[in-house]
Each structure stands twice: as structure tokens, then as C-alpha cells.
């Protein structure tokens, strides 16, 4: 009898150990954070400073709720004079607002990272470092890249390898030692190996790729995604097209996600005007580590939309929810409502037809929804 009780006790302790060992890391990814000329004019104060916090007030709680939040920083902090397209240079306050909004990691390898030359790369890195913002994709020297890349994010016992690459930099070449991580399979293969050497439990590649304004991924994206997954990258998050593109998962025989690709998130915030560039998705997933097993759990997305001052007078740029419940309950301006419904329906159409695997939509703007309903 005593032996039986002892065995039960041991089994109980081992089950508790397994529960303690299981860790869940929540991750959130946002698309292209951009600053066009109209956004600069909207954010400037009478004293010459800039204010952006109101752009993100409805989304801040969701961003901060993630253990790790990542954004594609598609501009430079190149200093004054501040400019929009085609050679972006944004105020430092833009980065500060994104940090206050809850973003932990900025991706800097994109086709606009050299818009202000190597000086822009250096200054962007210096400002991000001074703000204690983690970043990857561009570096001030080969030595800096070798010491800081690949980035390994540690949360408890979980190690996440983070990679970032761009297809190009609009024909501008880095000088004075500045380094940009371009898509180069030889380089990427080496970086993946270093992730493994550093003990990464899972590797995430953030890739700036694809054709602008195209809602479907091209053959080069498909081939690179397949290659990355074969080399050990389990999660791929895409940017650059400025519109949403499909999401795909690969599962094993038990239905567990082995690999996941979001081909494009779209514009997190911008002043682009064509119908599908005004909206985007934010993408969430959980990484669960139990003993030596790493699982990708509950991949999901929420649709968002950028409200512009030319549509909503005397209001700033603001990221809004873009599901049908919020649109029908809270949006009263006809033109804005029409634009949001177009984006909402077209996103649903693309995802229904082209997504692979179970990726659910979710809604997180409950407070905003309750507020506008109560006001009525």
C-alpha cells in the first residue's frame, strides 16, 4: 500500500513539474509603419515638435498585451528636414510613440532604410539605441552585425531567433561601413546556423519582399518561403506589398503547426490612398514550450484601418478596428464607412479563397466598441 501511495506521489510531482515547465509566449506582428508628408503636417505642433500618441490610442492596449510586439519601421530617423515619400526621414517622436504604443522590436531592413544614405542608417540606429528599442536589419559595421545578429530574444526558458531581410534598397548602396541585410540564401543559411548554435528554440524570419499592391504572393515569395521552412525557419512574416496577402500553415499528421507564413501584413499606418493600402492586419500567435517541444498555437489576425484627416475633419490619423461589427456600430461618416467596408470585404474574400490552414479572425476593440455604442 505504501509503495502504491509513493508511486502516486511521484507521478503527481512529475505532472506538476511538467505544468511548471510549460511556457507560453504571446507575439504580435504589425506591418509597415510609414510617415508620408501629410502625416508629418498633421503631427506637427506650433512649437515645431511632433505628437503621434493619438494615432495609436485605440490599439495601444492590444499591442502592450503581447509579450513581444514587432513592427516594420519603414522610414528613417535621418533628422531634419523631415520628408515623406520618396526619401523618408521621420521625427524621432514617431519612434518614441511606437515604443509607447507597446512595440518591443523594430525591423529596419526594408527598401527605404537607405533613403537618407548611410548617415540615415547610423542616426536611426543611434536614436533607437538611445531609446532602448531593440532593432535588427541594419547595422553600423560588420563588427556590430556579427556581435548583435542573429537576435535571440529570451523569455524565461524560451529562446526565439529573429531574422530580418529586404529584397533591395531602391538602388541605393550602403557606404561608410553601413550594413543592410539583403535576401541572400548563402547569408541566410549561415544566420540560421548561428541561431541554432545560440540555442534558439524557434526561428522567425521577417522578410521584406513581393510585389507592391498585389493581393497574392508571387512565385519568388512562395519559393523563398519553402526554402526557409526547409532550412528550419518555422515562422515567416512578410512586408513590402502595402496590402494584405494570404496566410499559410503547414501541419503534421496530428494537426500541429510545423510552419507558418504571413505573406504580407499591409500598412500598419500610412497615407497611402488606394483602397487596399488603407488597411492591414495585426497578427498574433503563441509560442508554447513544454519540455523540449515547441508549438505554434492559436494563430489569428485582426483587421485595422487608418482614419485620415481628409476624411474625418479635425481628427488626427488614427488606427481603427475594421471588422463589420465596429464599422456598422461606430462609423457614421459615409465615405469612411464605405472605404472600411471595401477593405473588410476584400480581405475576407482573399483570405477565404487563399489562406491555408486554420487561422481565425479576432476582435480586440471591445472598449472602443462599447464606448461608441454607449455614446449613442
Specify the pLDDT at position 6: 57
Inside any domain, residue 30: yes
20 vs 324, residue with greater confidence: 324
Q: Do residues 267 and 277 make contact, with C-beta atoms less than 8 angstroms apart?
A: yes
Q: Do residues 73 and 107 make contact, with C-beta atoms less than 8 angstroms apart?
A: yes
Residue 367 pLDDT class (50, 70, 90 cuts) = low
pLDDT reading at 17 higher than 90: no
CATH of the domain at 170: 3.60.21.10
How many separate domains does the chain show? 1
Inside any domain, residue 8: no
Specify the pLDDT at position 366: 67
pLDDT reading at 8 higher than 90: no
The stretch 315-320 carries a mean pLDDT of: 94
Inside any domain, residue 3: no
195 vs 14, residue with greater confidence: 195
Inside any domain, residue 309: yes
Average pLDDT score over the chain: 93
Determine the Cα–Cα distance for residues 229 and 346; give it in Å rounded to an integer.
Answer: 29
pLDDT reading at 12 higher than 80: no
Q: Could you tell me the three cell numbers for 223? A: 519559393
Question: What are the residues whose beta carbons fall under 8 Å from the beta carbon of 273, sequence distance 6 or more?
Answer: none
pLDDT reading at 1 higher than 50: no
Residue pLDDT, tens place only, 261-314? 999 999 999 999 998 999 999 999 999 999 889 999 999 999 999 999 989 888
Element spanning 107, H or E? strand 105-107
Residue pLDDT, tens place only, 87-132? 999 999 999 999 999 999 999 999 999 999 999 999 999 999 999 9
Residue 10 pLDDT class (50, 70, 90 cuts) = low
Inside any domain, residue 16: no
The stretch 195-220 carries a mean pLDDT of: 98
Determine the Cα–Cα distance for residues 163 and 151; give it in Å rounded to an integer.
Answer: 7
Q: Do residues 222 and 207 make contact, with C-beta atoms less than 8 angstroms apart?
A: no
Specify the pLDDT at position 364: 84
Q: Do residues 305 and 335 make contact, with C-beta atoms less than 8 angstroms apart?
A: no
pLDDT reading at 9 higher than 70: no
pLDDT reading at 371 higher than 90: no
Determine the Cα–Cα distance for residues 128 and 73; give it in Å rounded to an integer.
Answer: 11
Question: What are the residues whose beta carbons fall under 8 Å from the beta carbon of 370, sequence distance 6 or more?
Answer: none
The stretch 15-36 carries a mean pLDDT of: 83
Specify the pLDDT at position 14: 56
Q: Where are the alpha helices (DSSP H) in 202-274?
A: 219-230
288 class by beta-carbon count within 10 Å (0-12 exposed, 13-18 middle, 19+ buried):
middle
Specify the pLDDT at position 3: 60
Specify the pLDDT at position 314: 82
Inside any domain, residue 9: no
Inside any domain, residue 14: no
Residue pLDDT, tens place only, 153-174? 999 999 999 999 999 999 999 9
Residue 365 pLDDT class (50, 70, 90 cuts) = confident
- 259-279 CB burial, b ≥16 within 10 A, e <16: bbbbbbbbbbbbbbeeebbbb
Specify the pLDDT at position 22: 83
Inside any domain, residue 369: yes
* Percent of the chain topping pLDDT 90: 88
Question: What are the residues whose beta carbons fall under 8 Å from the beta carbon of 10, sequence distance 6 or more?
Answer: none
From residue 222, how far is each of 167, 197, 226, 286 by CA, in Å? 14, 27, 6, 24
| Domain around 367 | 21-375
Residue 346 pLDDT class (50, 70, 90 cuts) = very high
Residue pLDDT, tens place only, 238-268? 999 999 999 999 999 899 999 999 999 999 9
Phi, psi of 166, deg, nearest 5: -130, 150
pLDDT reading at 2 higher than 70: no
Amino acid at each position: 500500500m505504501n509503495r502504491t501511495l509513493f508511486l502516486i506521489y511521484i507521478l503527481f510531482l512529475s505532472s506538476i513539474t511538467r505544468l511548471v515547465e510549460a511556457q507560453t509566449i504571446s507575439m504580435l506582428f504589425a506591418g509597415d509603419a510609414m510617415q508620408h508628408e501629410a502625416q508629418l503636417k498633421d503631427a506637427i505642433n506650433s512649437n515645431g515638435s511632433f505628437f503621434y500618441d493619438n494615432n495609436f490610442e485605440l490599439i495601444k492596449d492590444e499591442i502592450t498585451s503581447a509579450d513581444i510586439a514587432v513592427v516594420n519601421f519603414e522610414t528613417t530617423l535621418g533628422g531634419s528636414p523631415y520628408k515623406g515619400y520618396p526619401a523618408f526621414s521621420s521625427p524621432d517622436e514617431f519612434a518614441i510613440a511606437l515604443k509607447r504604443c507597446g512595440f518591443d522590436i523594430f525591423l529596419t531592413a526594408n527598401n527605404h532604410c537607405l533613403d537618407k544614405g548611410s548617415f540615415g542608417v547610423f542616426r536611426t540606429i543611434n536614436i533607437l539605441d538611445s531609446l532602448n528599442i531593440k532593432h535588427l536589419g541594419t547595422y553600423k559595421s560588420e563588427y556590430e552585425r556579427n556581435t548583435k545578429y542573429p537576435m535571440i530574444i529570451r523569455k524565461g526558458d524560451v529562446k526565439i531567433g529573429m531574422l530580418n531581410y529586404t529584397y533591395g534598397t531602391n538602388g541605393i548602396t550602403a557606404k561608410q561601413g553601413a550594413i543592410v541585410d539583403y535576401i541572400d540564401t548563402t547569408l541566410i543559411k549561415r544566420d540560421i546556423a548561428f541561431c541554432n548554435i545560440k540555442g534558439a528554440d524557434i526561428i522567425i524570419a521577417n522578410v521584406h519582399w513581393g510585389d507592391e499592391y498585389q493581393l497574392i504572393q508571387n512565385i519568388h515569395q512562395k519559393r523563398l518561403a519553402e526554402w526557409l521552412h526547409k532550412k528550419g525557419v518555422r515562422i515567416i512574416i512578410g512586408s513590402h506589398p502595402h496590402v494584405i496577402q494570404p496566410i499559410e500553415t503547414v501541419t503534421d499528421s496530428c494537426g500541429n503547426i510545423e510552419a507558418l507564413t504571413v505573406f504580407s501584413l499591409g500598412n500598419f499606418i500610412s497615407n497611402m490612398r488606394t483602397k487596399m493600402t488603407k488597411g492591414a492586419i495585426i497578427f498574433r500567435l503563441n509560442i508554447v514550450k513544454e519540455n523540449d517541444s515547441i508549438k505554434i498555437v492559436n494563430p489569428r489576425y485582426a483587421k485595422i484601418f487608418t482614419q485620415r484627416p481628409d476624411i474625418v475633419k479635425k481628427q488626427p490619423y488614427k488606427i481603427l478596428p475594421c471588422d463589420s461589427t465596429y464599422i456598422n456600430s461606430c462609423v457614421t461618416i459615409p465615405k469612411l464607412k464605405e472605404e472600411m467596408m471595401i477593405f473588410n470585404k476584400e480581405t475576407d474574400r482573399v483570405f477565404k479563397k487563399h489562406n491555408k490552414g486554420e487561422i481565425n479572425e479576432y476582435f480586440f476593440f471591445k472598449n472602443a466598441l462599447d464606448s461608441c455604442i454607449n455614446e449613442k
